[in-house]
Chains A and B, each alone.
Chain A
C-alpha cells in the first residue's frame, strides 16, 4: 500500500523505549507525528482527558487489536482498530462520534511502519466521520509485544428510531448478512508464515456506520438485532442468538454469500468459513415482513451489494442452529471450541 501523506522529517528511524517515557522523545513523537496527523480541536487541548457533550442515549464500546501480521492485503492494524470500534458502536444502533486511541508499541517498530498505521487510522476516521479525542502511547521492551497493539474505545449517539435488543427477536424473523463471509479471516491466513495462494484475498475491513444509519432511518425497530461477526465468525453469532433466545435458527448453505476464492482457500486449509473472522460485514435479524425490502435497500448501499437472507428464526430445535447443506442434508452448527485448527487431510 502507498503512503498517502509524506512522513515528517524525524531524527529517529525506529521507536525506542524513550518514546514511551513521557519525556522529550514522547513529546516529539506526539507533536511531529500523532497530533500533526490526527489533531482536532479536542485532541489539541492535550489535557489528561477530553470534554464533550452528547445529548441522548449513548453507546460505548472498546476493543483491542492484536492482529498478526500488522500489514495484510487490503489494510493494516490501523484501519482495523478504527473500523472495529466504529462498527461495534454501529451494531448498537448508534452513530459513532469520538474515539480514544491507545498504542502499545514493541521497541524497534520502524517509524515508516508506524506512520503507515497512523495514516490508515486517519483515513478510517475520516471515512467514518469520527474524531480521535484522547489517547495514549506506551513502548514495551523487545520481545514483550508483537510490533504493535492498539486499543480503541468509541462513543456514539443511539439513533432515535433504533431498538436493538436480542429480546426483540421472534419466530419468523429473517437472518441477513450484509456481504460475503470469511474474507478478512482468510486474507490474514493467506499472509501468515508459509501460506502462499495463487490469488490475493484482500481484507474487506470497512466502516459500516453510514450504511447502518440509513437502514435505521428506513427500518427503525424492524431491525431487531445487529451483530458484527468478527472472531468466531457467523456461526458464533447465530449460536449465541439461538441459545440466548431459546429459539431455533435454520440457515441455507446455498444462500450464504462467500467469494469463490475464499471458499476454495477454506477447503484447502480445512477451515469452515462459518467460523472464520469477518470485518466489513454485519448480520441483522429483521422482522419477516420487511426483510426483502431491507436486503434490497442494503444492496444499494456501501458494502452491501452481496447482502442476502441466509435463514430464519424458528420454534423447532430451540437453542440450535441447523444448516441445510448444498445437497439438502441437515446438520447442527455449533459454537467453536477453542481456535479453529487446520486439519491434516
Chain B
C-alpha cells in the first residue's frame, strides 16, 4: 500500500508547506469541491499547517449533504412500506429528514440495509423476488457508473422488483453556480479527482475560460492536496488561469469512456435541487424513459408534503463558501452531530461535521 507511506510522507509535506510559504504573497480563497477532500484536509491536520494567506473553502461536494430533504422523506416513506427493502450507502442513514432519519426508521422496524455497492442490492432482489428492493442512488459522477450498471443488469436479468431512487448530482454545474453567485469570491478550485476519473477533463476547460480561474484536478491523500493547493497558488500568483491535473496517476484526459457510456445509456441530464442551495440547471441525473420501470419515483406513489428546511441552518451559504461553519450561530450549540439542524453537520464529509470533529484545539 504505497499511498499510505508515500502520500503521507512528513518530509515531503514539510517541503510543500515551505514552498507554499515562499510562493504566496497575498490572501487567496481556494475551494476544495469534494467532501472527501474536506475530510482529508481536516483528518490529516492540513488546515492548521497552511500559511495564513491561504483560506480553504469547503464546497458542496458531499453528496449526503446536498440530497434534498424531501428525497430523504421519500426514501423513509418507501422503507416503511410493507414488503420493501431499502438499500443505501452508510452515511446517508443518519441524515435527518423532516420527521426522522433512515436510522430511526430502521430502529422502528423498516428493513434498511447498508451496502457498499448497488450490485449487492441486485443480489438481494434476485434472492427475494417477493420483496421490492430499492437502492437509494446517491452521489456525484463517481457512484453513477455502478448505479447505472445495476439498472442495466436488472433489465438484462428481467428483475421486476428492483428500482432506484435517484439523487445524482454533477460537479461542473455546481462550480458554475458558485461562480455565478454574487456573494461568492472564490479565487481557485481543487476539482474532485474521483469525479474526473469518470468524466475526464473536458467539461472543465470551458469553466476555466469563462470565469478565468485556475482549476486543479486533485487527489485525496495529504501530499495530493498540498501539491494541488501549491499548483493553484502558483497560478494565482502569476495571474494564470489554467486547468491542471495533479491526480494524473489516476485521472486521464478522456476519463473512463466505458463508464461514461453506461451512464449515458441509463441516465439523462436534468435540473436538480441541491439541499441548502436550491435548483441548479442541468446539474443532475434522472433515469432515461426506457428505464422508467426501474425508477422508484415513477414506480411508487408518494403522498407526502414537501417539508421546509430549518430556517436557522445556513447550509446554503456554507456549501457555497460564503460562510465558515463556525460563523453560524447554531454551530456546536443548537446544531451538533448528535442533533444536526442541517446535513453538513451529519456526514463526516460535511464541512460542519468535519470542523466539529477535527478542528479547534483549545490551547
Contact = CB atoms under 8 A, between A and B. Distances in A.
Interface in A142-185: none
Interface residues of B, number: 59
A337 interface: yes
Contact of A337 (B115, B116, B194, B338): B338
A342 B361 contact: no
Given A320-B361, A341-B90, A343-B348, A331 B10 contact: no
Nearest to B354: A331
A5 interface: no
Given A319-B362, A337-B337, A341-B94, A329 B35 contact: no
A264 B1 CA distance: 7
Interface of A is mostly: loop
Interface in B67-104: 89-94, 103
A343 B8 contact: no
Contact of A325 (B43, B117, B194): B43
Contact of B8 (A264, A272, A327, A344): A327
Interface in B197-249: 222-223, 226
A84 to B, nearest CB: 25
Contacts of B39: 343
A293 interface: no
B302 interface: no
Interface stretch (B52-60, B135-143, B175-183, B282-290): B135-143
B44 A345 contact: no
A44 to B, nearest CB: 43
Given A322-B361, A343-B39, A331 B337 contact: no
Interface string B10-40: 1011100000000000000000001110010
Interface residues of A, number: 35
Contacts of B43: 272, 325, 331
A101 interface: no
Contacts of B140: 345
Given A320-B362, A328-B49, A344 B91 contact: yes
A328 B362 CA distance: 18
Contacts of B14: 327-328
A263 interface: yes
Contacts of B36: 343, 345
B357 A332 contact: yes
Contacts of B115: 194
B359 interface: yes
B358 A332 contact: yes
A330 interface: yes
A272 B44 CA distance: 12
Contacts of A331: 42-45, 48, 358-359, 361
A337 B103 CA distance: 13
Contacts of B362: 317-320
B347 interface: yes
A319 to B, nearest CB: 7
Interface in A32-65: none
Given A195-B116, A345-B140, A332 B10 contact: no
Contact of B13 (A316, A320, A327): A327
A324 interface: yes
A332 B116 CA distance: 28
Given A327-B223, A345-B35, A345-B143, A332 B92 contact: no
Nearest to A272: B43
Interface string A309-327: 0000000111110111111
A215 B311 CA distance: 57
A315 to B, nearest CB: 11
A331 B46 CA distance: 9
A263 B47 CA distance: 23
B120 A330 contact: no
A334 B36 CA distance: 19
Contact of B49 (A270, A329, A341, A342): A329
A238 to B, nearest CB: 14
Given A322-B361, A332-B359, A327 B349 contact: no
Contact of B44 (A316, A322, A326): A326
Interface in A277-301: none
A322 B363 CA distance: 11
Given A332-B358, A343-B39, A326 B222 contact: yes
B271 interface: no
B116 A194 contact: yes
A4 interface: no
Given A328-B13, A331-B359, 11 more contacts: A317-B363, A320-B361, A326-B9, A327-B14, A329-B13, A329-B46, A331-B42, A331-B44, A332-B359, A338-B337, A341-B93
Interface of B: 1, 4, 8-10, 12-14, 34-36, 39, 42-49, 63-64, 89-94, 103, 113-117, 120, 123, 138-140, 142-143, 194, 222-223, 226, 336-338, 347-349, 356-363
22 contacts: A193-B120, A264-B1, A270-B91, A326-B44, A327-B9, A327-B222, A328-B10, A328-B13, A328-B14, A329-B44, A330-B45, A331-B42, A331-B358, A337-B338, A338-B94, A338-B338, A342-B91, A342-B114, A343-B347, A345-B35, A345-B63, A345-B194
Nearest 6 CB-CB pairs, A to B?
A329-B45, A327-B13, A342-B90, A341-B90, A326-B8, A337-B337
